[in-house]
Structure 1
């Protein structure tokens, strides 16, 4: 059987944050999981706990379980930690190792904005080109199974594929491992995903996301709401300068 990118190294990525505003919220934890095959025995995990230098709202603490006091006492300085994170991601992408996440637009946008706030080179600046190759399990699922009813959270997709987790979701490293499991299940169910080159798959995801975002914006307009879903992918908006 011909080997494809799904059989090669993957770099999983996730953040946990103080909130959902990529322009003003801060990163609290990051996980990068280097995977060279299915199963935890093929994963190397790197995690960072970061002092966000602001209070972590109670709503965010309920999601990821990290208090302001814990982050201040045990977290790294944001500049040191995020420079390490960005360097590792850039190194992988330069070697054509795809960056894998679930709803990656959020994680990339908040990372780029944090790097800019801290006076560090962004991922785009480090690479000298757009951030690629990227694989977003959520975008792929929307693209290859467009008409399936129901929600598409990470928990929903784990259930859809009968996958079990050995940790608490909304912990960055557990979410990354779960996302890698879901991506492999998607590739097994939809062989055209694995058969695509990384370049073609990245391009397909740009189109899949745009189609979904335009549909969401049309729905929001019909509901009298602001059509504010970014159509660009994987970086839905430029870094705040």
Structure 2
């Protein structure tokens, strides 16, 4: 049976900002989607221990006051999210994450911050990233490539965008729609597809870095484009 006929495990994080090295998780969701079963959902609200900027609240709707009052200790949330993902990977399901480099790197850094054993030290996930897949398979399409854009293009319903649960479910639905449209993916093993995405993501990031480098006013952005996917390795203090 093709992988897209079996369950997918979606993950999404909403955070205090866009820097995985410095920002913190606010909400997280892990969903099991497809395979002929009802969608299973687990969600968490964390107290990140830092202020939530207004611009982040404007996206996901969680204020610092709300997180402090109702959120659970961040370390406990990170441990439970990592454990939930490890359980799904052990069951044989691929992880689906929109812009996986961000979410998986953020989760990795939070795990290290709180002394939690990181996900990739527990299991070796096979990752499916709708953004990487779409940019590879329909590279010349004009327009944006946000999750909202992809949902519109692949006719996937997205209610409550920028809430972790809705985004995790929508990312899985988009991956399923992409696989159903581009059947070559369904004839490719998850191991091979993961390896292909490593190369595709590198090519895509290299193109973005080159664009920044040659575009007046954007040159400084080039240095911030990382080529690794789906996880930027943690700096070990020895320059590696």
2: CA distance, partners of 1:43 / 1:171: 16
For 2:74, the equivalent position in structure 1 comes to: 78
For 1:36, the equivalent position in structure 2 comes to: 34
Asked if 1:188 corresponds to 2:180, the answer is yes
- Scaled by the length of structure 1, what TM-score is found? 0.92
For 1:104, the equivalent position in structure 2 comes to: 100
For 2:141, the equivalent position in structure 1 comes to: 148
Asked if the contact 2:226–2:232 (Cα under 8 Å) also holds between the matched residues in 1, the reply is yes
Asked if the contact 2:8–2:95 (Cα under 8 Å) also holds between the matched residues in 1, the reply is yes
For 1:42-57, what aligned pairs fall within 5 Å after superposition?
Answer: 42-57=38-53
SS of the residue aligned with 2:177?
A: helix
Which of 195, 201, 210 is 1:209 aligned to? 201
Q: Following TM superposition, by how much is the alpha carbon of 1:180 offset from its aligned partner in structure 2, in angstroms?
A: 1.3
- Scaled by the length of structure 2, what TM-score is found? 0.92
For 1:83-94, what aligned pairs fall within 5 Å after superposition?
Answer: 83-94=79-90
For 1:171, the equivalent position in structure 2 comes to: 163
SS of the residue aligned with 2:140?
A: coil
Q: Deviations over 1:97-147 (max 9, x none)?
A: 1010110111111111111111111112223xxx42011111111111112
Q: Deviations over 1:49-76 (max 9, x none)?
A: 0000111111000000001111111111
Q: Deviations over 1:189-232 (max 9, x none)?
A: 10011221000110110111011111111111112513231111
Q: Following TM superposition, by how much is the alpha carbon of 1:239 offset from its aligned partner in structure 2, in angstroms?
A: 5.7
1: CA distance, partners of 2:39 / 2:16: 27
Runs of 4+ displaced beyond 4 Å: none
2: CA distance, partners of 1:181 / 1:93: 18
Asked if 1:67 corresponds to 2:63, the answer is yes
Query: Where does structure 1 lack aligned partners over 5 or more consecutive residues?
Result: none
Which of 150, 154, 171 is 1:157 aligned to? 150
For 1:220-235, what aligned pairs fall within 5 Å after superposition?
Answer: 220-224=212-216, 225-226=219-220, 227=222, 228-235=224-231
For 2:116, the equivalent position in structure 1 comes to: 120
Asked if the contact 2:7–2:32 (Cα under 8 Å) also holds between the matched residues in 1, the reply is yes
Query: Where does structure 2 lack aligned partners over 5 or more consecutive residues?
Result: none
2: CA distance, partners of 1:177 / 1:132: 18
